[in-house]
Structure 1
Amino acid sequence: MQTIERRRARSLSADVVDELSKRMRIGPLRPGDKLPTEAAIMQEFGVSRTVVREALSKLQAAGMVRPQRGVGTFVVGASRAKPFHVDSSPDDSLAQAIALIELRIGLETEAAALAAQRRDTSDLAAIKSALDAIEAAMDQDMDTALPDYQFHLEIARASHSPHFAAVLEALGPTCVPTAFLKTADGNEEGASEALGDQVRHEHLGIYDAIAQQDVEAARAAMRGHLVNGRERRRASKGPQEPGRS
């Protein structure tokens, strides 16, 4: 049931993206216009705040909107759209999903190493806050995608090299995959618990290395986490037919 609910939420966010994109292409939304508030979008589409925020993140990653803290989110003109874009939709093929994780391996491994070297106390507090949010979501059996993304984003910011965070912001929260594994007897729930424990251990290893300012350990911990994530993503798709991704 939880898997179905998560997939439905992802589908709903795609519906919101499609409709808002259409309004930006053909009207009534024009460059410089302010989007409706999150509450208004929630009411119009009958969706949760999480769905709305995921949709807005996708639009921002596509360079179609620009958030302004404390003011709202605005439509971006074509001349201001971001040239960099990677489609990180969870509905992509397995090959595309693996390619995205491999991009993150190259990017975030070095970001974690720099974070261990350069982080300050406020950076560490932000990373810990995101880690605690993941733990809270796991304990309540809630979707961890958004706090998980925030954890990785805060590490990129702690590198104090702004392009790392800029790329992750362009990718958006959907770059964090949600894998659903099954045990040999088909017990998805048991596999989910084991998976949760493994991911929790990996996240804690990354945090500890950054906290201790151990550059090589942080690099290795992040690489191990993302490589494991790649294999979990492969496993979640099951065996592939010859010639199929």
Structure 2
Amino acid sequence: MAFLKKEPIPTLRADANLTDRITDLLVAEITGGQYAVGEVLPPEQVIADRLNVSRTVLREAVSRLKAEGLVQSKQGVGLTVMMTTRPSVLRMVAAEEGDTEQVLRIVELRRGFEIEAATLAAQRRTDEDLAAMRAALTAMEQAIADGDVAAGVDADLGFHRAVALATKNEHYLNFFDFLAGLLAENLRVSRSRSAKLAGRASQAQREHETLFKAIEAGDPEAARDHARTHVEHTEARLRSTQAAEWH
């Protein structure tokens, strides 16, 4: 690990800019070719000792790296490098495993996006777009029958990606891919834990079918309404899962 190979740096002054300086130092090391994507950093205490700073300062710096998408805490693994180049566009923290509240915040962001995407898709969809949506629905149905949670999540995201593609606006597609990257793994974990709660997958499937029919019919108002219902029900299902885990 690169951190362990480096000599300790001189003691840093505990002034108002200390966290900024530690953040910049860690960013420089991560983006400077010392790490590969997927590499796990040493424990926080080891890093703090090397940099001669408190755990409080280091944790604040690490939280900034997470916000930039450079690292992510993975349960049972540790602080993992997610990218080695500093993104120049929108930055958000991926939902960590088991963090239902963070997932819900991202789902809330999806609400407006999904509603507008469905509205545009109903106006602009092509036969090819409809075929892609139908294929995703078929894959979801098969995943439910097989009890395959991972395949079900992939098909679910595939359906919504096909809706984004049908807007004929590349920014909708790019933003969907961004959100999907933040949500995908957490949704797999969440749905695996809630698999015992019967009927949820089937309910979501019915919502997808209803939304598809509105888009297929070229009815933007119905598509808007059904997209809103689906996202609101998704939020409700996640909250119910969270409540069940707490009891």
Q: Partner of 2:240 in structure 1? A: 235
Q: Relative to 1, partners in 2 of residues 1:160 and 1:128: Cα closer, same or farther, differing over 3 Å? A: same
Q: Cα distance, 1:137 vs. partner?
A: 1.3
Q: Cα distance, 1:83 vs. partner?
A: 1.6
2:231 is matched with which residue: 219, 226, 232? 226
Question: How many Å separate the matches in 2 of 1:122 and 1:90?
Answer: 35
Q: Which runs of 5+ in 1 are unaligned?
A: 1-22, 36-60, 65-74, 183-187
Question: How many Å separate the matches in 1 of 2:69 and 2:130?
Answer: 30
Q: Cα distance, 1:147 vs. partner?
A: 1.3
* Structure having the higher Rg: 2
Question: How many Å separate the matches in 2 of 1:239 and 1:228?
Answer: 16
Q: Does 1:168 align with 2:176?
A: yes
Q: Cα distance, 1:174 vs. partner?
A: 4.7
Question: How many Å separate the matches in 2 of 1:91 and 1:199?
Answer: 22
Question: How many Å separate the matches in 2 of 1:213 and 1:196?
Answer: 26
Q: Partner of 2:164 in structure 1? A: 156
Q: Cα distance, 1:214 vs. partner?
A: 0.9
> Could you give the per-residue CA deviations for residues 117-149 of structure 1, whole angstroms, max 9, x where no partner exists?
110111111111111111121111102111111
Question: How many Å separate the matches in 2 of 1:195 and 1:170?
Answer: 25
- Check conservation: 1:94, 1:237, Cα contact below 8 A: yes
The count of residues paired between Structure 1 and Structure 2 equals 175
Question: How many Å separate the matches in 2 of 1:219 and 1:211?
Answer: 13
Letter in 2 for 1:196: A
Q: Partner of 1:110 in structure 2? A: 116
> Could you give the per-residue CA deviations for residues 11-36 of structure 1, whole angstroms, max 9, x where no partner exists?
xxxxxxxxxxxx97464678xxxx9x
Q: Partner of 1:210 in structure 2? A: 215
Give me the TM-score of the superposition, normalised by structure 1: 0.61
> Could you give the per-residue CA deviations for residues 146-165 of structure 1, whole angstroms, max 9, x where no partner exists?
11111111101101122111
Q: Cα distance, 1:93 vs. partner?
A: 3.4
Question: How many Å separate the matches in 1 of 2:35 and 2:135?
Answer: 36
Q: Does 1:196 align with 2:201?
A: yes
Q: Relative to 1, partners in 2 of residues 1:135 and 1:62: Cα closer, same or farther, differing over 3 Å? A: farther
> Could you give the per-residue CA deviations for residues 159-211 of structure 1, whole angstroms, max 9, x where no partner exists?
112211111111234525344687xxxxx63x33x112211110101111111
Q: Relative to 1, partners in 2 of residues 1:240 and 1:126: Cα closer, same or farther, differing over 3 Å? A: closer
RMSD: 3.4
Q: Cα distance, 1:89 vs. partner?
A: 2.3
Letter in 2 for 1:198: Q
Q: Does 1:101 align with 2:101?
A: no
Q: Relative to 1, partners in 2 of residues 1:24 and 1:150: Cα closer, same or farther, differing over 3 Å? A: farther
1:172 is paired with a residue whose SS is helix
Question: How many Å separate the matches in 1 of 2:154 and 2:216?
Answer: 22
Give me the TM-score of the superposition, normalised by structure 2: 0.60
- Check conservation: 1:115, 1:158, Cα contact below 8 A: yes
Q: Cα distance, 1:220 vs. partner?
A: 0.8
Question: How many Å separate the matches in 2 of 1:62 and 1:132?
Answer: 34
Q: Relative to 1, partners in 2 of residues 1:95 and 1:162: Cα closer, same or farther, differing over 3 Å? A: same
- Check conservation: 1:98, 1:230, Cα contact below 8 A: yes
Q: Relative to 1, partners in 2 of residues 1:76 and 1:130: Cα closer, same or farther, differing over 3 Å? A: farther
Q: Which runs of 5+ in 2 are unaligned?
A: 1-28, 38-67, 72-82
Letter in 2 for 1:165: L
Q: Cα distance, 1:97 vs. partner?
A: 1.9
2:90 is paired with a residue whose SS is coil
